[in-house]
Every structure is written in structure tokens, then in C-alpha cells.
Amino acid sequence: MKIISIINQKGGVGKTTTVINLASALSQLGKKILVIDLDPQGNATTGLGLSNTSQSDQTIYGILNGTMTISNVIKKTNFQNLDLISSNVDLSGLEVETAGDSDRAFILKAKLTAYLNDSRGLYDYILIDCPPSLSLLTVMALVSSNSLLVPLQTEFFALEGLTQLMKTIERIKVNLNPQLEIQGILLTMYDRRNKLSSQVEQEARDYFKDKVYQTVIPRNVRLSEAPSHGIPVLIYDKNCPGSKSYYNFTDEFMAQENKVGSAA
């Protein structure tokens, strides 16, 4: 069982799209997946066909403010092997509400540990969709995770934001979660007609070496249409370039997992 945060403090880089489609592809391979929507905007929730205006105690907010346990708020999606803990806008108040709690960075980890020890949590992967900021919610996710996956859009300022993120990750490793590692960096919104895309790709590969996945996710209209229908693009149009890329990425992700597994 592995907990993976999908993180980048910049918005609009393909985090939620990656969470939804990686979850969908893994579930199609027979893996049991739980998605935790940790973004107050609730885009992963609506992208998987559920409402982000539901009662706040039936969401991740209910878990983090102590009124609910995880097993009570897990919702089934319409997709086999794929469950969700939804989010809504109430989550944005959590930082203020927990201001006096010195252990607040560990709240999510404590709840997940209790749930998993209870052994009803039979998942292969828990994927956490982080908000687009280095806020308390993101820190909670990093403290709870075994590894993190960074979608990186192939645009001009992308690498600048990444250095800030790496500093945050190092601080979390030193102070709060020594086991945290970078699973990989996924290049998104790639435009083959645009020289900048290939320049950013080259810089990322030079700097992060084999941490950057070989698969790149192209700009694709179908990718942006699918969430409005509440389904992953892999189901909305499984033959479009975006779907093919996410299937290739999932193959690469699984090959990486199997390699790590056999090394252990």
C-alpha cells in the first residue's frame, strides 16, 4: 500500500487531470485505488462524477476537523476499484481553525494510519490531489505520503516554481517525514510545435535525470473536456492523444513500481 501526493504549488499544471487519469488507469489494471481530494476547489471530486457541494462533514474536511472517521466518508465512484474522499470549499477554513494545534501537520497522517491499521483499508494506492499552494493542506499531504509525483507544465516559469517546491520537500524530509521521496516528474501540456516545450523538457531532464518520466502529456482538447462530463479522459475518449499518453505513463509508473518492489 502506497500513499502518493500529486503536487505542484502552481495552479493549472495538470495535477487533478493526472490524479483522475492515473487512478482510472490503475483501477482498470485491477488495482484498488482511493483518491483523496485535498483541494478546497474540489475539482477531483467533480472530475470523478461526484458533487463538491455535499455536506461538509461527509468530506475530507469532516475527517480533518475530527467529526468523522475515514471509513465513514469514503464514497464509491461509478468506476470499478476506484473510491474517493471528496472535498468542498469548507476545507479552505481549516488552516485558521487549527492555528492553535501544534501537531496539525500530522492530523491527516494520524487519521490515515488509524484507518489502515484497522485493515478495512484494502487499497493498493492512495492518491492525494493537493491544492495549488504550499499551504498547511499540502504539508499535511507530504507528511502522510511515501512519495510524491510532480506534474510540470512545459512553460517558461515552470522550473522556477519547482526549485521552491524542492526546498519545501527537503524541509519536510528533515523535520517531519524522512521517508518522503520523489516518485517522478511528469511533463504536461507539451506542445510539439512549440520550441519552448522541448527546451523546458531538456532542462528538466538535465537537472532531474531519470526522475523525469519518458512519457510526456500533450496539450489535448479531450483532456480538458472530460472533467466537465465527470469522467476520466480514458473513459471519455480512450483513443485520443491525451488518453494514450496517460496509458503510457501508467505503464511506466507500474514498471517503476515493479522495479522498486523487486529491489526490496
Is residue 97 pLDDT above 90, yes or no? no
Retrieve residue 197's grid coordinates.
516545450
As to burial, measured by CB atoms within 10 angstroms (0-12 exposed, 13-18 middle, 19+ buried), residue 225 is middle
Is residue 154 pLDDT above 90, yes or no? yes
In percent, the amount of the chain with pLDDT more than 70 equals: 98
Is residue 121 pLDDT above 80, yes or no? no
Q: Which residues are CB-contacts of 220 (< 8 A; sequence separation ≥ 6)? A: 233, 240, 241, 242, 245
> Whole-prediction pTM value?
0.95
Per-residue pLDDT tens for 186-210? 999 999 999 999 999 999 999 899 9
Kindly list the structural domains of the chain, giving each domain's residue range(s) and its CATH number in brackets, ordered by start. 2-256 (3.40.50.300)
Is residue 118 pLDDT above 90, yes or no? no
3-state secondary structure of 143: helix
- Residue 105: its pLDDT value, please? 93
- Residue 38: its pLDDT value, please? 96
Per-residue pLDDT tens for 54-65? 777 899 999 999
> pLDDT class for 3, splitting at 50, 70, 90?
very high
**Rounded-to-10 torsion of CA 194, 198, 199, 205:** 160
Closest CA to 59 of 18, 89, 17, 95: 89
Is residue 122 pLDDT above 90, yes or no? no
- Residue 34: its pLDDT value, please? 97
Q: What is the mean pLDDT of the chain?
A: 92
- Residue 119: its pLDDT value, please? 65
Only one residue has cell 512519495, namely 147
What is the secondary structure of 182-197 as a DSSP string? EEEEEEEEE-TT-HHH
Is residue 53 pLDDT above 90, yes or no? no
Average pLDDT over residues 80-94: 93
Only one residue has cell 519518458, namely 214
> pLDDT class for 27, splitting at 50, 70, 90?
very high
Per-residue pLDDT tens for 164-182? 889 999 999 999 999 999 9
